[in-house]
Amino acid sequence: MTIHIGAKPGDIAETVLMPGDPYRAKWAAETFLENPVCVNEVRGMLGYTGTWKGNRVTIHGSGMGMPSLSIYVNELIRDYNAQTLIRIGSCGGMQRKVAVRDVILAMTASSLSTPSSGIFKELNFAPCADWSLLRAAVSAAEAKGTPTHVGGIYSSDVFYDERPDINEQMTRHGILGVEMEAAELYNLAARHGRRALAVLTVSDHLLTGEALPSEDRERSFGDMVEIALEAAFA
């Protein structure tokens, strides 16, 4: 048990999928896992452990933004020995070739700052995904026939962004999508020698203005969860 996670020793699997929304964690666990058990509900941040094809998996919310994710990932690694951490979440498309409902596999994650910026000081550290997870996720997506893009994403500090110039430069430099958590996940995985990947569903588009209605999101997010699970145990 930690300050933010009420799970007992052994309650958390070595493989953890992390949506931002705790209720999406509940939905994913009940939809994809066998015999899911709620192992955390401290501060309403839900976590469930069950099995997928005989493999133990925990699906645990991270909250919104890198500071929140940093709290949970630090505790999952330090106190529960999580070895593989995969973010499953939504993002905004930033390229014309990326369509709403497509999946983005984040090879790298650019950012203005992260909770790790104080450690790196003047260094511009380049956080990236674990290659074995990324390769397995590409194979899983191809097998499913899911429209998928592999490349860099942008992890923003803010949701209501008032710096359109930054988005313009991200788009200019080929960034596929924007979200708010992956860069710090990759930082922490690198620091602690763990495997990490972000598998993202495009829920809206910054260039076209298109967005998924809320009632359609869960159906569209199913491919993302299956790709993450396949990649984790490839």
- Bridge partners (DSSP) listed for residue 15: 84
In a domain, 4, yes or no: no
The pLDDT of 28-35, averaged and rounded, is: 97
| Separation CA 193–CA 187 (nearest Å) | 10
Q: Any residues with CB less than 8 A from the CB of 128 and at least 6 apart, and which?
A: 107, 108, 109, 186
pLDDT-derived band at 151, boundaries 50, 70, 90: very high
Q: Any residues with CB less than 8 A from the CB of 101 and at least 6 apart, and which?
A: 147, 201, 202, 212, 220
CATH code, 218: 3.40.50.1580
Are the beta carbons of 198 and 126 closer than 8 angstroms?
no
Whether residue 213 has pLDDT greater than 70:
yes
In a domain, 146, yes or no: yes
In a domain, 140, yes or no: yes
Report which residue type is found at 93. G
Per-residue pLDDT reduced to its tens digit, 215-232: 777 667 999 999 999 999
Binding site as annotated, residues for phosphate: 20, 24, 43, 87-90
In a domain, 189, yes or no: yes
* Domain interval for residue 71: 15-232
In a domain, 7, yes or no: no
The residues carrying an active-site annotation are 204
Per-residue pLDDT reduced to its tens digit, 158-204: 999 888 899 999 999 999 999 999 999 999 999 999 999 999 999 99
Total count of domains within the chain: 1
In a domain, 2, yes or no: no
The pLDDT of 15-39, averaged and rounded, is: 97
In a domain, 224, yes or no: yes
The pLDDT of 30-44, averaged and rounded, is: 97
In a domain, 1, yes or no: no
- pLDDT, position 219: 65
Binding site as annotated, residues for a purine D-ribonucleoside: 4, 179-181, 203-204
Binding site as annotated, residues: 4, 20, 24, 43, 87-90, 179-181, 203-204
